[in-house]
Amino acid sequence: MSWLKNAWYVAGFQNELDDAKVVARTFLGVPVVMMRHSDGRITALEDMCPHRLMPLSAGKRVGDELECAYHGMRFGVTGICTLAPGQTHIPTQACVRNYPLVQRHGLLWIWMGKPELAAPELVPDIRWNDHPAWTPSRGYHHVEASFQLSVDNLMDLGHESWVHLRTIGQDDEEVIPNYPVKVTVKGEGLLHAHREMPNIDAPPFFAMLLEHQGKINRWQTAVGLAPSICMTDFGVYPVGSSPDGAYRSHVLHLLTPETEKTTHYFWSVARNKRLGDEALTQAVCKAIEQTFDEDAVVLKIQQSQMEKFGGPVPRVALKVDEAPIRARRMLEALVKKESEDPNFVYRPQLMIDDTTPELAMV
């Protein structure tokens, strides 16, 4: 699979490296082990001893070094071997590749491409995960499907009425595809798919958020930022009230390819209301876990079907496929640029501002 490599991908939540923890994950098909040095530095090393290919994560941490479980070789945060038991001379080839790893917005970001191009200012601006004006509910799903299928799923919110009827979907005549979607290219690698849903019954999740059982107005914008970040910006408010007081949330879908058939799905649901309500934070976590569990089931089946009968999908395109197809084409164009110029670096834009959308329903 062709991945965009000269880009920052989410590798985890920042606090995962606290308390001298060692975290092993695979990104873009490459096994990586991450840790924090006692002086605060963080590192991401290829999770493979250069001697006999034993995963370093299968060994143990000794101070600020990783010790291989096979022959006791040790490696520091830069990837250089510091100890080869039984000999004083350490071969110059005894080193492990070091991948750029930075902390930003409460997250760990890894760069799998050319390290000299890894500028920290290229980290996407998703400040809502770690900002005093927003409160996040965070979590993680391991998805048994390609990251591209996950992006398709998030750029096509029309499936909510069938996959998520117990949580965020509408029923009967209020099914989401009945409300027209406006797809807009905002710039290189950035796409918006906006939909407005006035005077609808409140689905269970939104009724909980608003503590309101009557009719609501709802907008939602599916935002796609290459290579693999999506955001669902939604706002809901009771009919008859002002949209300026809407409960608004930025649902951050932070997708990082693990392999060609599996995806790391880090997520953060940042809200602008009831910021100190810890019970609500946990309730949102529970509801979102259920929602994304529903997605994971469909994506796993779809991945299996593609392997059995051949892809790609969709075989027959519908109106709801406009945003997913355009998002794929945008990524393909970026991958093509990188293949033609290995020093090409994509510069991600701000996904969305925080002003209230000008809604036709108002």
Q: Which tokens belong to 124?
A: 């996407």
Q: Is 354 inside a domain boundary?
A: no
Question: What's 259's domain CATH number?
Answer: 3.90.380.10
| CATH number, position 96 | 2.102.10.10
Residues in the chain: 362
**Same domain, residue pair 315 and 210:** yes
Indicate whether 138 and 204 sit together in one domain: yes
pLDDT band at residue 173, thresholds of 50, 70 and 90? Answer: low
Whether the CB-CB separation of 160 and 170 falls below 8 Å is answered with: yes
Q: Let me know if 349 is exposed, middle or buried by CB neighbors in 10 A (0-12, 13-18, 19+).
A: middle
In this structure, the strands spanning 247-257 and 81-83 are unpaired
* Dist. CA 175–CA 161, nearest whole Å: 5
The answer to whether residue 362 scores a pLDDT higher than 50 is: no
Judge whether 349 lies within some domain: no
115 and 148 fall within a common domain: no
22 and 148 belong to one structural domain: no
With respect to residue 311, please indicate whether it lies within any of the assigned structural domains.
yes
Tell whether 300 and 211 lie within a shared domain.
Answer: yes
Distance CA 113, CA 49 (A): 20
Q: What is the average pLDDT score of the chain?
A: 92
The residue-averaged pLDDT of 34-55 equals 96
The gap from C-alpha 287 to its chain's centroid, in whole angstroms, comes to: 18
DSSP string, 318-344: -GGGHHHHHHHHHHHHHHHHHHH-TT-
Instruction: Using the predicted structure, report yes or no on whether residue 170 has a pLDDT greater than 60.
Output: no
Q: How far apart are CA 79 and CA 73, in angstroms?
A: 12
Structure tokens at 351: 């996904």
* 127 domain-assigned: no
Do residues 188 and 346 touch, judged by C-beta distance below 8 A? yes
Domain that includes residue 276, residue range: 133-340
Banded pLDDT at 201 (limits 50, 70, 90): confident
In the chain, how many domains are there? 2
- pTM for the full predicted model: 0.92
Quick one: pLDDT at residue 359? 62
* Stretch 18-22: mean pLDDT: 92
| pLDDT, tens digit, 9 for 90 and up, residues 330-358 | 999 999 999 999 999 999 999 998 777 76
In a domain? residue 262: yes
CB atoms within 10 A of CB 273: 15
Residue position matching structure tokens 């593609």: 306
The Cα–Cα gap between 122 and 221 comes to 24
Residue 31 identity: P
Looking at residue 135, its pLDDT comes to 96
Q: Are residues 359 and 243 in contact, defined by beta-carbon separation less than 8 angstroms? A: yes
Same-domain pairing of 59 and 17:
yes
Distance in angstroms (rounded) separating the CA atoms of residues 40 and 33: 16
Residues 6+ apart with CB under 8 A from 257: 1, 3, 9, 27, 28, 29, 146, 147, 228, 263, 264
The rounded Cα 18 to chain-centroid distance in angstroms is 21
Report residue 249 as tokens.
């949330």
Q: Which of 120, 151, 178 marks a domain boundary?
A: 120
Encoded amino acid at 101, one letter: L
**Pairing state between β 8-13 and 181-187:** unpaired
Report the percentage of the chain scoring pLDDT > 90.
78
User: CA angle, 259 as apex, 257 and 262 as ends, to 5°?
Assistant: 75
The last residue of one of the domains, among 91, 120, 149, is: 120
| Domain match, 112 and 141 both | no
Same domain, 232 and 274: yes
Residue 346 belongs to some domain of the structure = no
Say whether both 272 and 233 belong to one domain: yes
* Class of residue 122 by CB neighbours under 10 A (exposed 0-12, middle 13-18, buried 19+): middle
pLDDT confidence bin for 169, thresholds 50/70/90: low
Rounded Cα gap, residues 249 and 137, in angstroms: 11
Condensed to tens digits (0 to 9), the pLDDT of residues 61-86 reads 999 999 999 999 999 999 999 999 99
Q: Which residue has the higher pLDDT, 159 or 52?
A: 52
In this structure, the answer to whether residues 23 and 149 fall within a common structural domain is: no
Q: Is the pLDDT of residue 167 over 80?
A: no
255-295 pLDDT, tens digit per residue, is 999 999 999 999 999 999 999 999 999 999 998 999 888 99
Residue 47 and residue 161 share a domain: no
How would DSSP label each residue in 53-87?
---GGGSEEETTEEE-TTT--EE-TTSBEEE-TT-
The residue behind tokens 């770690």 is 130
Residues 179 and 111 reside in one and the same domain: no
User: Is 126 a domain residue?
Assistant: no
- Which DSSP string corresponds to 238-273? ETTS-GGG-EEEEEEEEEEESSSS-EEEEEEEEESS
